[in-house]
């Protein structure tokens, strides 16, 4: 795990992340018909679900770190993020037409 030790390294890592995200966005803008390429439910399922799954894995890693360091503040932060992520992961997975065939109100209730 990389420890950021100075404000300069923090700014550098944020700049690299921002440039990577902007390059990814520019890449997706090159597709013909990019505005109509993703319908709302497809976009919702394929973007929200993996993002929240990655956040759940990250929160679990932070929680494990809090346990190892015996730092209750870090552990409580990880548990809070994990609980919120769980609800929104249910929201993403219950997008109508993917895993659940019928249009139930589970997505709305979970959000």
Cα–Cα distance measured from residue 76 to residue 111, given in angstroms and rounded to the nearest whole number: 22
Cα–Cα distance measured from residue 84 to residue 51, given in angstroms and rounded to the nearest whole number: 13
Cα–Cα distance measured from residue 61 to residue 44, given in angstroms and rounded to the nearest whole number: 25
What phi, psi does 99 have (nearest 5°)? -90, -40
98 and 41 Cβ atoms separated by less than 8 Å: yes
pLDDT of residue 97: 74
pTM equals 0.57
Structure tokens at 52: 């929240």
What phi, psi does 96 have (nearest 5°)? -60, 135
Cα–Cα distance measured from residue 51 to residue 100, given in angstroms and rounded to the nearest whole number: 20
Q: What is the pLDDT along the chain (111 residues), one digit of tens a residue?
A: 555 567 787 788 889 999 998 998 888 778 766 555 455 677 778 888 889 989 999 999 999 999 999 999 999 999 999 999 988 888 888 877 777 766 667 766 666
DSSP at 31: S
């Amino acid at each position: 795990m990389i420890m950021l030790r100075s404000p300069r390294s923090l700014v550098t890592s944020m700049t690299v992340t921002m440039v990577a995200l902007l390059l990814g966005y520019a890449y997706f803008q090159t597709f013909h018909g990019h505005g109509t390429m993703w319908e709302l439910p497809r976009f919702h399922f394929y973007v929200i679900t993996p993002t929240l799954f990655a956040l759940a894995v990250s929160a679990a890693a932070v929680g494990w770190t809090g346990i190892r360091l015996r730092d209750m503040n870090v552990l409580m932060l990880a548990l809070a993020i994990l609980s919120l992520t769980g609800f929104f992961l249910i929201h993403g997975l219950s997008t109508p037409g993917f895993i659940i065939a019928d249009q139930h109100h589970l997505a709305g209730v979970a959000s």
